Amino acid sequence: MWAHLKVNLTDILFSVSETMDLPDPSLVDHQVRTAYIASELARAANLDHELSERLFMAAMLHDIGALSPEEKIGVHVAEDLFPGAHCLRGGKLFREAFWLAPAGEIVDWHHTPISQHQKEGRSFADDNVLAAQFLLLADHLERWIDRRQFILHQSDRLRTQVSQLSGDILHPDVIQLLRQVSTCEDFWLELVSKDLALRLQQRCPLRSIDLDFEAARAIAVVLKDITDFRSRFTASHSSGVAACARSLAQRLAFSGKDLQQIEIAGFLHDVGKLVVPNAILCKPERLTAEEYAIIRQHPFYTYRVLSRVRGFEQIAEWASYHHERLNGSGYPGRLERNALDVGAKIVAVADVASAIAESRPYRDQGNKETVISALRNMSAQKLLEPVIVEALTDDYDEIVGASLEAQAEDERRYQERYMTIT
């Protein structure tokens, strides 16, 4: 029954990786470039296909555990070689999705020096230690690139700087591999080329992997986590939206693939918030007009991330139109009723209902009366679709009860697995 939704894993990796690196000019393409360097080292070392694949997945999302743009920038400029929290959180996030799980250890260790591995009894010849060393080198090299300077004017400096990590931090053999792959100008010019992602996607080791629904759902949950776990106020928001949207869709006669897709759309509707800094996303006071404009970009980026993923076309639309309103007053497309699919209208209602039912830094959680009266108001003002609002109010206790349950479960995961890592 679940087999018919197929999604391309490579598309997801590239799309998410690039979006994670958008919030600051110093980060643009950081993970893609890191993956390129790591894969060149893997090629020179003749790593087998399976290990190259694992390394590539790890490299593309290696900073996934740095949950906010601020933390990503912090990790990026850190002189400190061992900012551990984002490694552990990243490894845990990888283990949540079984396609990414085999690469979890490489993410755990992407700042771990070789001396530490040896101290803990691991050998350089262990597959994941070797791959983590490639990633450590690639990550440092990329971060040391001066983006204002022509790459061939700094390649010698970069090589020297990496050589200084030999011994304690990096095994000398890894440095030797870099010397080997970086003698040609090609390596450097390709590394900073504007179409690196495109070219890498054409020849990356994951080219042909299609995921079925269950695997796609597991990855969607990881993406939801990195969106929502940035603040305790939103930690379970998208789970609530997903559960509510799914229940509503069931009552409106969705079935099979459409039900799978609406759930994933709920998980991913706010994934575009990856580009919004925590200072704005978690601000306890009222937002200024300028800050609100920054928040309002997020559904645009949700569309940008999802629409590039083969198999997610429908999900992209349903997820990213959740702030559009029937009378054309919504954002970012000012779409009107006829341009909105019923799936998008369902996610919009589920989003409003969940948001009001949750607490926020500036207000307490809404009770049944508050939620219902807000939804009915919005339906009367031609903001939300009346039939969907009625479907929710008719069966309020059951629908909202189920989504609160899903949220409580996520709240527990958040507390147990991520809050404890600082």
Return residues touching Fe ion (CB under 5 A). 63, 75, 139, 270
Q: How far is the CB of 392 from Fe ion (least distance, A)?
A: 18
DSSP per residue, 223-277: HHHHHHTTSTTTTTHHHHHHHHHHHHHHHTT--HHHHHHHHHHHHHTTGGGGGS-
Q: How far is CA 377 from CA 13, 238, 259, 374, 385, in A?
A: 40, 23, 27, 5, 11
Q: How far is the CB of 272 from Fe ion (least distance, A)?
A: 8
Q: How far apart are the C-alpha atoms of 264 and 412, rounded to whole Å? A: 21
Instruction: Between 139 and 324, name the residue whose CB sits nearer to Fe ion.
Output: 139
Instruction: Between 209 and 355, name the residue whose CB sits nearer to Fe ion.
Output: 355
Q: How far is the CB of 124 from Fe ion (least distance, A)?
A: 20
Longest dimension (CA), the chain: 69
Q: How far apart are the C-alpha atoms of 39 and 59, rounded to whole Å? A: 9
Residue for token pair 């050998």: 123
391 alpha carbon, distance to own chain's centre:
32
Q: How far is the CB of 6 from Fe ion (least distance, A)?
A: 27
Instruction: Between 66 and 211, name the residue whose CB sits nearer to Fe ion.
Output: 66
DSSP letter assigned to residue 339: G
Instruction: Between 211 and 262, name the residue whose CB sits nearer to Fe ion.
Output: 262
Q: How far is the CB of 43 from Fe ion (least distance, A)?
A: 21
Instruction: Between 215 and 353, name the residue whose CB sits nearer to Fe ion.
Output: 353
Instruction: Between 270 and 410, name the residue whose CB sits nearer to Fe ion.
Output: 270
Q: Which two tokens stand for residue 107?
A: 């993410």
Q: How far is the CB of 354 from Fe ion (least distance, A)?
A: 10
Q: How far apart are the C-alpha atoms of 180 and 352, rounded to whole Å? A: 56
